[in-house]
Amino acid sequence: MTAVLWQASDGGSDLCVLEPAGRGRRLRGTVLTHEGKEPVEIRYSVTVDAGWVTLDAEVLVAFAGGELREPVELGDLWSGRERPPDLADCVDVDLGFTPATNTVPIRRLGLEVGEEAEIAVAWLRWPELRVERALQRYARVGDGRYRYRQEDFSAELLVDELGLVLEYEGLWRALARS
C-alpha cells in the first residue's frame, strides 16, 4: 500500500491510497476542495485489474452544508452492461478533480521514452459532474516524465516508480508519500 498527499494550486488537497484489490489494484481517495466559496468533500475509488484496465469507479460528493449529492454512477460503465455509444471505446476513467486517475493509463500503456499513445476516456468533468468522452494523449518524454494533452490543454507530469503523480504542471504537487 502506498499513500500520497497532493496539494492543488487552488488550495485543495487529495489524500490517495494505492492498494491491492483482488488480482488488481484500487486507487481510493478523499479530495477537499471548493465550488465557489462552498467547501466540498469528494470520495472516490477506481479499481483496476492486473493489466490496469478499469473495472469499477465510484464517486461521492458532499457539500459542507450537509448536502450529499447522489453518487455519480460511473460503475455502471464497467459493470458489463452496454455502454452509451459515445463511451463504448473508453477503457479508462478520468476524474477531473484528482491527479490519481492519470496513474491508470500511465501504468496500462507502459510507454517507453519517446513513445506516445492516444486513448479515449470517460471523463468526469468537475464541477459539472458530467461524464463525457474525451481523447487524451500521453507521451513519455523521459524517465518519470510524461506530456499529457487533452483538447487544447497540455501539462507535464512527473511521476514516481508506481506511476503516481509527483508534480502535475500548474495544478498539483505531492507534499508527502509513504
Checking if the pLDDT of 154 tops 90, the result is yes
The H or E element containing residue 109 is: helix 103-109
Express each pLDDT in 100-140 by its tens digit.
999 999 999 999 999 999 999 999 999 888 899 999 999 99
Long-range CB contacts (< 8 A, 24+ apart) of 128-132? Answer: 129/59, 129/61, 129/69, 129/72, 131/72, 131/74, 131/77, 131/87, 132/86
Range of the domain at 14: 2-177
Q: Are 30 and 17 in contact (CB under 8 A)?
A: no
Q: Tell me the three cell numbers of residue 101.
A: 486517475
pLDDT for residue 100? 98
CB atoms inside a 10 Å sphere around CB 146: 23
Euclidean distance between CA atoms 100 and 27, whole angstroms: 7
41 within 8 A of 56, measured Cβ to Cβ: no
Q: How many domains does the chain have?
A: 1
Q: Bigger pLDDT: 58 or 171?
A: 171
Q: Which residue has the cell 518519470?
A: 144
